[in-house]
Amino acid sequence: MKLLIARPMTEAVEARARAEFDVELREVTTPLTQSEMVRALTEFDVVIPTLGDQFSAHIFAQTSEPRCKLLANFGVGYNHIDVGAAQAAGLLVTNTPGAVTDATADIAMTLLLTTARRAGEGERLVRSGQWEGWHPTQMLGQHVTGKKVGIVGLGRIGQAIARRCHFGFGMRIAYQSRSPKQVDFPAQYIPNLSALAATVDFLVVAVPGGAETRHLINAEMLEAMNPTGILVNIARGEVIDESALISALQAGQIAGAGLDVYEFEPRVPQTLREMENVTLLPHLGTATEEVRTDMGHMALDNVAAFVAGRSLPNPI
């Protein structure tokens, strides 16, 4: 059984992969090219792909009888894989839910606090050598404690964010999702997204990526937000219409944004990069040693189960 791992992994994950499987570890950090994906499907039994490895219907169409029978995705999000096309070609697909929840929620709070309190702007000011000292009206930002936050998508990650906001900062929670949720904190269900956007101080996007949520946050939703509102995205870049966001920021329709993901990642528009009221992170959602190792082990658990003929722990 031959295994391909599409990107370098943590030391612990690579050591386990070498010990348990006949593995090829790709040494570059860029996404698989089309030719590499075709090779992956034709020369390997199992592939561990990750974000950016675009296993589209076009790729599967180029491999009429793929040797590969499992895509054990490294990551909870799998919108880079056409699952229907994979299944039609005879492949199973798994992901790594759960392992990413707390780390991603922590980054959401990092973005919310950094943007609201102008911490990124302040850090750049100190580094520039232009800080002239404290004064009573220096860099006044927005208070966070006790404010109202709206969570778009109250799945595992959305709930983890809401708990941090409620129990850590005494914030009032409102949310939008397909249906009301039973949760262990007070939360107002607002089924209409525009209505949610209009009633909160902070709007945090935590929905899965994919065709159903592409441009969910569009010009209409941004117009509904308060001019003091701050938008945070830790979901997928394409969930937000990036052009509409730039226009809203330029027009002062919203006060700021905190982004960990981008519509055309890794390309980030220069306009966004020049805005002081926007916090920009390089997709750090799960970027801790512990979490990336847990994700790798979860992917390998799926591989091990497949090889042994057991039920897959995390099927899609």
φ, ψ at 5 (rounded to 5°):
-110, 120
pLDDT, tens digit (0-9, with 9 covering 90-100), for 100-126: 999 999 999 999 999 999 999 999 999
Look at residue 165 and tell me whether its pLDDT is greater than 90: yes
**pLDDT score at 99:** 87
In CATH, what number does 2-99+288-308 get?
Answer: 3.40.50.720
**pLDDT score at 64:** 84
| Averaged confidence pLDDT in the chain | 96
Q: In the chain, where are the structural domains located?
A: 2-99+288-308, 101-280
pTM: 0.90
**Chain-centroid distance, C-alpha 93:** 19
pLDDT, tens digit (0-9, with 9 covering 90-100), for 30-43: 999 999 999 999 99
pLDDT, tens digit (0-9, with 9 covering 90-100), for 199-214: 999 999 999 988 899 9
Contact 233, 259 (CB under 8 A): yes
Contact 204, 108 (CB under 8 A): yes
Look at residue 98 and tell me whether its pLDDT is greater than 90: no
Residues 243, 249, 251, CA angle at the centre, nearest 5°?
100
Tokens representing 242 are: 């990036």
pLDDT grade for 232, boundaries at 50, 70 and 90? very high
13: DSSP letter? H
- Report the relative pairing of strands 172-176 and 278-280 from DSSP bridges: unpaired
Contact 10, 289 (CB under 8 A): yes
- Report the relative pairing of strands 148-152 and 202-205 from DSSP bridges: parallel
Position 291, amino acid:
V
Direct distance between the N- and C-terminal alpha carbons of the chain, in angstroms, rounded to an integer:
22
Q: How many helices (H) and strands (E) does the chain have?
A: 13, 12
Going by C-beta distance under 8 Å and a sequence separation of 6 or more, which residues neighbour residue 265? 52, 237, 283
Going by C-beta distance under 8 Å and a sequence separation of 6 or more, which residues neighbour residue 196? 150, 152, 174, 175, 176, 190, 203
Domain 2-99+288-308 and domain 101-280, same fold? Reply is yes
The Cα 103–Cα 293 span in angstroms is 12
pLDDT, tens digit (0-9, with 9 covering 90-100), for 271-284: 999 999 999 999 99
Position 166, amino acid:
H
In CATH, what number does 101-280 get?
Answer: 3.40.50.720
Q: What positions carry a catalytic annotation?
A: 236, 265, 283
